[in-house]
Every structure is written in structure tokens, then in C-alpha cells.
Structure 1
Amino acid sequence: MTKRFIQFDLLRGLATIAVLLIHLTAPLLGKNKLWILALNQATRFAVPVFLILSGWGLDRTDALDSQLHYPAFLKERLKKIIPAYLCWSLIYALANFWLVGEELSLLTFLQFLLLGKTSYHLYFVPLIVALYIIYPLLSKIAYNKYLALAFAGLFIFQHVSDHLLGYIPYDKVQDYYTYAFCFFFGIWLSRNFLQKVKRFQVYRYGVVILTLLFLGLLIEESYLSGGEVIANTRPLVTFYSIGLVLTFMLYRLPFDKVLLWFSQYSFLIYLSHVLFLKILEGTVEKLGLSMPPLIYVILVGSGLLICLYLLIKVVDREPLKRWIS
């Protein structure tokens, strides 16, 4: 049985592009341009999809059934991501604190390191490490149909009702619960995966219609709120992300080479892009350039892609590859 699924490699590449677009368009949300809001919201699937694919990919490796015990398997996984995370955390500590005169003690730096706070996007690495750690528990839930149904049903009920009523007092609790559910869904999807593909083929047109419906509703929701509703963990984002995963599971989309390139270097792009975006945004501000949002997205976006391409050409070799990417 093959462990790879080309459509999900393409989806990972698309999610990587989506991360760039989220952060590229975020400063422009106050420009009262509907297309900016729509683009920002349409790309909000990035983090949920990354988590779903991470759970799916981890389970497809038969991690718990490996000849290695899971702690040893986990150690091997962490060895692939921790060195690069440490390196980029240090880079962002320099760029965001030490080199600009902001106070950051060694103790605070270590706390930020554990929480992914040296830059606003690095939270994802401690998050995925935590999900790796609780993977055996989520796997037991996903592999028991009654527990899986109860877990999914309870999540959907509280996910929707909390969004409407706000009865969970700490947003981060809801956020992490949503992230855990996305990871769980990927694990569940992995079991008897090819059978699920055949089963969902019957509903392939309905999946696309629902995915587009959720996309339209989440754009409308954010528009009606004046652009204030942008969080990745809203119910509509969760359902839209799941729909997008199922869509890619059922359809083969074009632009293979471009999406596969972004998929191959997704972790390095995720870690590094904010640094280049910060430099480009600072350059535009220092030069006092005033440009329409469309021109800004094209110019800064092109500059960002050039920087990422050059970085990848430099570090895509040993020994830098291990430590930076």
C-alpha cells in the first residue's frame, strides 16, 4: 500500500501559498476592498489543512505499529523539525528584539521558544509537537467508531454554539480544541483511506457545492462584521477546510509543478517568509511609497517569492539544510 497521495501533496503546496497570502493581505484589510477581504478569508484554510494533513500523514506511516516504539518514533520526527525551529527562533529574536533595541532576557527567550512567540507565526511548531505527543490518545479515539462519533459530535456542537454564544471564557482553549480536532480528523481519514476515497466519490459534487457554500458564508460573515472576524478557528473555516481536503481527495487539480515545489519546501517557507515580509514592508514604509492595494500585493508578493526562491537555492544543501530547513 502506497503511503503518499499526490493530491494531498498538491494541497500542502496550496496551503503554503495560502499562508503567504494571509500574511500579505492582513495589513490591507482596513482598505475597504472586498477582494482583499475575500482573498484573506479564502486562504484561511491554511493552518487547519496543515493540521489535517499532519494527522493523516503521521497515521499513514503506521507510527504506532512501527517496529520502533512510539517515543523513539517521536524522537526521530522531532529531530527533523526542532533544529530548524531553534535556528529561526533565534533569527526572529534578533530581528524583532535584540537588534532593534527591544528587551528580551534569556529566560524570556526560552519561554518564547517553548510557546513559539519570537514571531507571531511560530506558534505552529510547538502546537504540532504537542499534537504529536498526544497522537496515541487521538489515534485510539479515531480508531474506535463510537468514540470518534462522540468526539466529533461533541466538538461540532460546542464549536458552533460557542461561536454563537461565547460560553468558553478563554479563546485559546477553543483554539487548541479546534486544532486537536483537525489533527484527529486527519487521523480518522487515514484509516481505510482508499475505501473512504471510494465512498466519498459518490458525493463528490455535493462536497464541492458544500465547500463553495462554506467559503461564501465565511466571506459574508467577515464582511458583515466589518472585516473583524478573521480567526482561523471559526466554525465556517473548519468546515470549509474539511471540505477542501475532501475536494482534493476526490479531484486532481492542475498546476502540479508549482504546487509540488511549494509542498516540497513548505516548512522552510513557513518558517522564513515572515522575516522577508517584514523587511519588504519596512522598505515600502521607509521609502514612503503609497500604492493601490493590488499593486502592493503584486510587488511585495513578487519580492517575497524572489527572496524565498533565493533562500531555498542557498540552503537546500547539507549542512545548512538540516539546521535552516
Structure 2
Amino acid sequence: MKEKIIWLDSLRVISTFAVILLHVSGLILYEYGRVTEEIWNIGNFYDGMVRFCVPVFFMLSGALLLSKDYELSYFFKKRFWRIIPPLIFWSLIYIFYDYVLVGEKSFSPISFIKMVIRNIFYGSQGHLWFVYTLLGLYLFIPILRKWIKNSSKNEILYFLIIWFATIIYSIPYLKTYLPNIPLTNFSGYIGYLVLGYFLSNLTIKNKYIPVLFIIIGTTITIWGTHYLTHKNNKFSEYLYEYLTPNVLISSIGVFLFFKNLIIKNKIIKNLILFLSNQSFGIYLVHILILILLNKIGINWKFSNPLISIPVTSIICFFISSLTIYLLRKIKYGNYISG
């Protein structure tokens, strides 16, 4: 079974690393006008190159979950039990760090409890938005799976075409010239779930098509962001958004590229499986690791960003993986590590 889905594990690993790279390089972009043009362009290059990471995570969920049959109770027990305990655990860790170690210490017991509940419900760190969004999508997957199971390829493609139309509708410059037809029922990240399922069952033998998609989507993201930022004289993050045509194109390219990638080396396969198994935990903990690394001067500033961004990302990826590995060695650690 693992032989058949090694490409999915590879995608999960590369997307997890891409998220870290995104968060390391992204800090530069908000320094537009306060850093040199060269440094800002390097940050834009790295960040624009990895915008596929979150869409690919959603596509992986679609590829894996929409192709299986589950009893409703089993599905929710398996999925939510895997996500909610680690989410609560790491939320509490971030709350402890932010409010106890370095933040406000004058909370009354009642206000502290209210603050903890509020942060757990709404996210104690910015990157956790993805987990809450994923939980919302999971609620719809049992319904979506029934539709997928009973739909033809053309019917699924029909949904994806309309979903793509909602992305086109979101382009500010085109709204005025498009008919006012509400398409909200087809919009949002749910499209990436269906797309992941669709592409996982699609055969494309031409190996250059995925590469072409990656180049086109990434070029539009990087060059377009550069152009809009200079035009507005402030950082423009519109083309960085995950529900834009350019990010969609690059995400499709990355997904298909790894789907067609054949890995034969057993050592590399085992490493991929090891890191893939830890990917959710790495995602949850990596912001804390980046905060701690920053305190000892390991960030994009310690060298030329062309070097410091990937080096910081690799160090964070390694320490995050080690943290999850060691946490799982503790009794019951598997339930909270992620």
C-alpha cells in the first residue's frame, strides 16, 4: 500500500517544508521600503515559489478521503480524534508561551480561563487557521464523498469548472465585466478537495505539462507581486492568496509533478515516510521553533537571504521533526504530538 501512495507522502513532506520556507521568507515582504530592493526580491522569490503548499494540503485530503468509504461515526472518530487533541495541546503551548512566559501575567483566574477558551476556539497562532478550516471541510466530506462516488468524470469536471469560475469572479478587475450570478455554493477551499480527488485519478503521460504549470503559475505570482507592489508602493499580497488562478495553476503543476515522480531509493522512501508521518506535528510546532530560533539569531537576517532563508527553514524543519519524534516516545505522546 505504501508503495502505491509514496507520491502522496512526498507531496505532504514537500508541502510541509514549503510552509516553513513561506513563514521564514514572508517576514521580509512586510519590510518593503525598509529593506533593499535585492533583499525584498529574494523574499518575494522564495515566498512566491511555495504558495502551492496550503492548496496541496487540501488536495491531499481530497485524494485520500474522497476515494474511501467510511461509516459516519468511524470517519469522525478517526479524523477528529487525530486533529483535535494535538490542536488543543499545541494551542495551550502557544498560549503558555505568549501569555505566561513573555506576555501579560496579571490575569485574574476567570479572565485567564476566558482568554484560554477564546484562543483555543479562534486560534492561538495565525498558522492554525488551516487546521480550523480543515475541520470545517471534514464536516462536509461524508456528504461530498457520496456525491463523488455516484458522479461521472464529466459531472466532477462540471463542478470544477464552476469552482474555477468563482476564482475568476474574485479577480477585482474582472468583477465589473462578469454577470452577477451568485456562485457561493461552489466556492472556497472545497474545490481543492474535489480537485485533489480528480487529479489523483487523472492520467497525464506528458511529463512537461506539470513543469509548465509550475513555471507559469509561479512566474505570475512572483512577477505579478513585484509589479503590483511597486505600482502601489506597498506590499501587495493579492497574488499570494490561495484562491487565485496563478496559485491554482502552480498547485496543479506540483501535484501532478509528484504524482508522476518515481522514487526507487529505499533510504529516501523510508525518510519520506518517516517525515510524512510527522508532517501534521511539524506544521503545528514549527512556528514555536521559528520563534525560538529567532531569539538566538537564526532567521533571514543572519546572512544573505538567498542563503539564510533556506538554511533557517532546514534547521526549523529538522528541529520540528525531532521534537515530534521525541514527544511520541513519551507515553501517550502520539495523541498530542500531531
Give the TM-score normalised by structure 2.
0.79
Q: Structure 1 residue 133 and structure 2 residue 133: aligned? A: no
Q: Measure, in 1, the Cα distance between the counterparts of 2:317 and 2:311.
A: 10
Offset at 1:147? 4.4
Q: Is the 8 A contact 1:13 1:261 kept in 2?
A: no
Measure the CA separation in 2 of the matches of 1:50 and 1:22. 14
1:76 is the counterpart of 2:103 = no
Distance change (3 Å), C-alpha of 1:246 and 1:303: closer
- Structure-to-structure mapping, 1:52-201, within 5 angstroms: 52-60=59-67, 62-63=68-69, 66=70, 69-102=71-104, 105-115=112-122, 117-143=123-149, 144-145=151-152, 147-165=155-173, 177-190=187-200, 193=201, 196-197=202-203, 200-201=204-205
Query: Structure 1 residue 23 and structure 2 residue 23: aligned?
Result: yes
Question: What's the CA shift for 1:108?
Answer: 4.1
Give SS of 1:278's match. helix
Q: Please give the alpha-carbon distance, in whole angstroms, between the structure 2 residues aligned to 1:156 and 1:17.
A: 27
Unpaired runs of 5+ residues, structure 1, are: none
* Matches of 2:81 and 2:128, distance apart in 1: 17
Residues of 2 paired with 1:276 and 1:21: CA distance?
A: 13
Report 1:219-238 matches (<5 A).
219-226=222-229, 227-229=235-237, 230-238=240-248
The offset of 1:274, in angstroms, is 0.2
User: Is residue 2:49 matched to residue 1:49?
Assistant: no
Aligned to 2:287: 274
CA contact (8 A) 1:14 1:262 kept: no
Relative to structure 1, the CA distance from residue 219 to residue 252 in structure 2 (aligned partners, 3 Å threshold; closer, same or farther) is farther
> Are the equivalent residues in 2 in contact too, given 1:52–1:186 (CA < 8 A)?
yes
Question: Structure 2: which 5+ runs fail to align?
Answer: 177-182, 230-234
Give the match's secondary structure for 1:164: coil
The residue number in structure 2 matching 1:239 is: 249
**Percent of aligned positions that are identical:** 25
Maintained 8 Å contact 2:25/2:309: yes
- TM-score relative to the length of structure 1: 0.82
The structure-2 alpha-carbon separation of the partners of 1:166 and 1:261, relative to structure 1 and needing over 3 Å to count, comes to farther
How many residue pairs match? The answer is 305
Answering whether residue 323 of structure 2 is matched by residue 311 of structure 1, we say: yes
8 Å Cα contact 2:52/2:251 also seen in 1: yes
Q: Secondary structure at the match of 1:124?
A: helix
- Give, in whole Å, the separation in 2 of the partners of 1:136 and 1:313: 32
User: Structure 1's 281 and 205: CA in aligned 2 closer, same or farther, altered over 3 A?
Assistant: same
Letter in structure 2 aligned against 1:35 = I
- Match of 2:160, as an amino acid? A
Question: Cα distance 1:100–1:167, how it changes in 2: closer, same or farther (>3 A)?
Answer: farther
State yes or no: 1:209 paired with 2:199: no
Q: Residues 282 and 321 of structure 2 are in contact (CA less than 8 Å); yes or no, is this contact kept in structure 1?
A: no
Deviation digits for residues 10-68 of structure 1 (CA, Å, limit 9, x no counterpart): 111111110110011111223433232111111111110011001111124x23xx4xx
Q: Aligned AA for 2:164?
A: I
Deviations 1:59-91 (A, max 9, x none): 24x23xx4xx21332112211222111100100
Q: Give the letter aligned to residue 22 of structure 2.
A: I
RMSD over equivalenced CA pairs, Å: 3.0
Q: Residues 76, 159 of structure 1: CA spacing in aligned structure 2 closer, same or farther, 3 A cutoff?
A: same
8 Å CA contact 2:275, 2:321 repeated in 1: no
1:131, 1:284 → 2: CA distance?
38
Separation (CA, whole Å) in 1 of partners of 2:209 and 2:302: 44
- The aligned amino acid for 2:75 is F
Cα distance, 1:256 vs structure 2: 4.4
Q: Give the Cα–Cα distance (whole angstroms) in 1 for the partners of residues 60 and 324 of structure 2.
A: 23
Q: Distance in 1 between matches of 2:140 and 2:124?
A: 24
1:52–1:185: 8 Å Cα contact kept in structure 2? yes
Q: Which amino acid aligns with 2:326?
A: V
